Homo-oligomer: A and B are copies of this chain.
Amino acid sequence: MTFKVRNEAYANLVSENFSRQNLMKTLGAELAHIAPGEISIAMPYSRDFCQQNGFLHAGAISSIADSANGYAALTLCEADMDVLAVEFKINLLAPAKAPRFLAEGRVLRPGRTLTVCMAHVYGLDGSERIAVATMLSTLIHRPISTAR
């Protein structure tokens, strides 16, 4: 699918918005890929965000997958819009233990009011890439003034 870009400055919009997501900073997460309808977010493993067995907590995995999907939707929005998650569902496919994680979010269906996105999260260990989660999200578009 080729996506229609409504705001040529989408990469700036995403970067600026991402820099205001304090949770991403707290997790050490970074934007790894920005393209129309596609965002990847990387984060390192840290014991601070783990569950009882030393795997990354599903909440941490969800955080980067949710943001990847949100920003994937934002790349296709008008300049004065923001995007909020309405809901998401995540399947945890394997224990999240790897030195690094990558969430790849992609627009499945762009819309005027709602956008649907899918993210795959991988554990990265050297050249190995293990699928740890898949998220399906619904996002709503809001004028920036009302979203804040």
Contact = CB atoms under 8 A, between A and B. Distances in A.
Interface in A124-148: 131, 134, 136, 138, 140, 147-148
A5 interface: no
Nearest to A118: B134
Nearest to A85: B58
Contact of A26 (B22, B48, B131, B136): B48
- Could you say which of A18, A54, A91, A94 has the most chain B C-beta atoms within 10 Å of its C-beta? A91
Interface string A25-57: 110000000000000000000011111111001
Given A91-B116, A92-B84, A21 B109 contact: no
Interface residues of A, number: 50
Interface string A9-33: 0000000011011110110000000
A62 interface: yes
A87 interface: yes
A55 B25 CA distance: 15
Interface in A39-95: 47-54, 57-60, 62-64, 66-67, 82, 84-94
Given A25-B48, A59-B67, A62-B63, 7 more contacts: A21-B50, A21-B51, A21-B57, A62-B66, A86-B92, A88-B90, A91-B116
Interface of A: 17-18, 20-23, 25-26, 47-54, 57-60, 62-64, 66-67, 82, 84-94, 108-109, 113-114, 116, 118, 131, 134, 136, 138, 140, 147-148
